[in-house]
């Protein structure tokens, strides 16, 4: 599976943003390296059985989350699939809360009840982490609809605060683009002018099935967005600077015009699909070919060439990040597991009624299982 590097732009071309500042590039380098280190340690902890359940790491794809989340506002909603640690960290979740969640500890972002696939961070406007392929795509439409309704109709938020013009980012993998719910969502958001951008993190594989074997017209994914009347964009997701230059004006155009978006963001994952994947469907040469184009190494060498980063600075940045992640792991290790009483807290709207054999559901029907 080899994907052609892409940079096919739509009508937003004319508004390509200017070169990002050195400060921003250094921040991206740090954010991407944090995800890389975090994911390498996650894989290690999984192998030591400190983390259980399904676990999918994001190594290789770091520029996607960092570059796209770096193009929106702190209070724009974000929702994604199960390969979600990178999005959580890019959105501002602490490594402690993210790691503790995977360790099943009470200090985790979802009190240890969600695990790897369900990173959730309400203060940072991250609405999961979803394990059912494509399930987050109608949720992305709903989040964007709610924000638009608050702005255009209610003129304020439900809590009385200012309603802003927002854009929602909804991520999905190339393996999710043929889900029916996604097509219904695309149709809906286009008809109703809902500003949600669907970002296909196209890593070329759905588990072990290469894209040309799982989807029709795989070389032209944006034709799907265009067929719903959505101005769509192809971007090379391995080069964060180019990604930002193309994506940032696109976001602002969707925000201003209250229009949805569809982005084919071409990327590659270095590890297997999940932690138990013998990877018989691809060659080591293919993986190495992509590693040679690594987004972190590329940005670091660009910054060195421009004289904005020395070898020593880069080494000490890597060390500081390593220490930060190690201390998050230690904190996760030391944190307590949830009390039994936490089992149904935050799970049901009214746990007692729904779980008691004597009572009925809130809407009055009797529980048929009892």
Ligand X SMILES: Cc1ncc(C[n+]2csc(CCOP(=O)(O)OP(=O)(O)O)c2C)c(N)n1
Give the residues lining the site for ligand X (CB under 6 A). 56, 83, 131-133, 173-176, 203, 205-207, 273
Considering CB distances under 5 to 8 angstroms, the limit depending on partner class, which of Mg ion, ligand X, none binds residue 118? Answer: none
In the bound state with ligand X, the residue whose beta carbon lies nearer, of 96 and 236, is 236
What distance in Å separates the CA atoms of residue 153 and residue 146, rounded to the nearest whole number? 10
In the bound state with Mg ion, the residue whose beta carbon lies nearer, of 140 and 204, is 204
Q: Is the peptide bond before 129 cis (omega within 30 degrees of 0)?
A: yes
Nearest 10 degrees: Cα torsion 210, 211, 212, 217:
180
What 19-28 contacts at long range (C-beta under 8 Å, 24+ apart), as own/partner pairs, is 19/241, 19/245, 20/241, 20/244, 20/245, 22/303, 22/306, 22/308, 24/70, 25/241, 25/299, 25/302, 25/303, 25/308, 26/303, 26/308, 26/309, 27/70, 28/63, 28/66, 28/67, 28/70, 28/240, 28/299
In the bound state with Mg ion, the residue whose beta carbon lies nearer, of 28 and 205, is 205
What distance in Å separates the CA atoms of residue 3 and residue 221, rounded to the nearest whole number? 12
Does residue number 59 form part of the binding site for Mg ion (CB under 5 A)?
A: no
Number of alpha helices (DSSP H) and beta strands (DSSP E) in the chain:
13, 7
In the bound state with Mg ion, the residue whose beta carbon lies nearer, of 17 and 274, is 274
**Of all residues in this chain, which one has the CB nearest to ligand X in the complex?**
173
In the complex, minimum distance from the CB of residue 174 to ligand X, in angstroms, rounded to a whole number: 4
Residues 146-175 that bind Mg ion (CB under 5 A): 173-175
In the bound state with ligand X, the residue whose beta carbon lies nearer, of 107 and 203, is 203
In the complex, minimum distance from the CB of residue 355 to ligand X, in angstroms, rounded to a whole number: 27
Residues 202-261 that bind Mg ion (CB under 5 A): 203, 205
Does residue number 3 form part of the binding site for Mg ion (CB under 5 A)?
A: no
In the complex, minimum distance from the CB of residue 102 to ligand X, in angstroms, rounded to a whole number: 17
In the complex, minimum distance from the CB of residue 125 to ligand X, in angstroms, rounded to a whole number: 21
In the complex, minimum distance from the CB of residue 316 to ligand X, in angstroms, rounded to a whole number: 32
In the complex, minimum distance from the CB of residue 203 to ligand X, in angstroms, rounded to a whole number: 5
What single-letter DSSP state applies at residue 22? H
CB atoms within 10 A of CB 191: 11
Residues of this chain that interact with Mg ion (CB under 5 A) are 173-175, 203, 205
């Amino acid at each position: 599976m080899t994907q052609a590097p892409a940079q096919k732009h739509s009508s937003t071309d004319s508004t390509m943003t200017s070169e990002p500042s050195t400060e921003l590039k250094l921040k991206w380098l740090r954010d991407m390296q944090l995800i890389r280190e975090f994911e390498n340690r996650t894989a290690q902890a999984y192998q030591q059985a400190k983390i259980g359940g399904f676990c999918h790491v994001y190594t290789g794809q770091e520029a996607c989350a960092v570059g796209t989340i770096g193009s929106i506002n702190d209070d724009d909603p974000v929702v994604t699939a199960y390969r979600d640690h990178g999005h959580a960290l890019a959105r501002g979740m602490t490594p402690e809360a993210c790691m503790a969640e995977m360790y099943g500890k009470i200090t985790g972002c979802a009190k240890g009840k969600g695990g790897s696939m369900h990173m959730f961070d309400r203060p940072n406007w991250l609405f999961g982490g979803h394990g059912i392929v494509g399930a987050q795509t109608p949720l992305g439409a709903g989040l964007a609809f709610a924000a638009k309704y608050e702005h255009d109709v209610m003129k304020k938020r439900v809590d009385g605060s200012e309603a802003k013009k927002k854009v929602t980012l909804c991520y999905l993998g190339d393996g999710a683009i043929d889900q029916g719910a996604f097509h219904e969502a695309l149709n809906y958001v286009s008809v109703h002018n809902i500003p949600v951008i669907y970002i296909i993190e196209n890593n070329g594989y759905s588990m072990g099935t290469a894209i040309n074997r799982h989807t029709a017209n795989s070389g032209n994914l944006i034709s799907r967005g265009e067929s719903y009347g959505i101005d769509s964009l192809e971007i090379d997701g391995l080069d964060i600077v180019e990604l930002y230059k193309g994506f940032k004006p696109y976001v602002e155009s969707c925000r201003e015009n209250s229009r949805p978006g569809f982005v084919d963001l071409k990327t590659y994952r270095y590890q297997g699909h999940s932690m138990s994947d013998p990877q018989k469907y691809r060659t080591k040469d293919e993986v190495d070919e992509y590693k040679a184009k690594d987004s972190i190494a590329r940005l670091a060498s660009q910054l060195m060439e421009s004289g904005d980063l020395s070898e020593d600075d880069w080494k000490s940045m890597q060390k500081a990040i390593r220490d930060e992640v190690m201390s998050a792991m230690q904190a996760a290790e030391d944190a307590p597991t949830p009390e039994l009483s936490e089992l149904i807290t935050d799970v049901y709207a009214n746990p007692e009624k729904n779980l008691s054999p004597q009572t009925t559901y809130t809407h009055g029907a009797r529980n048929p299982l009892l």
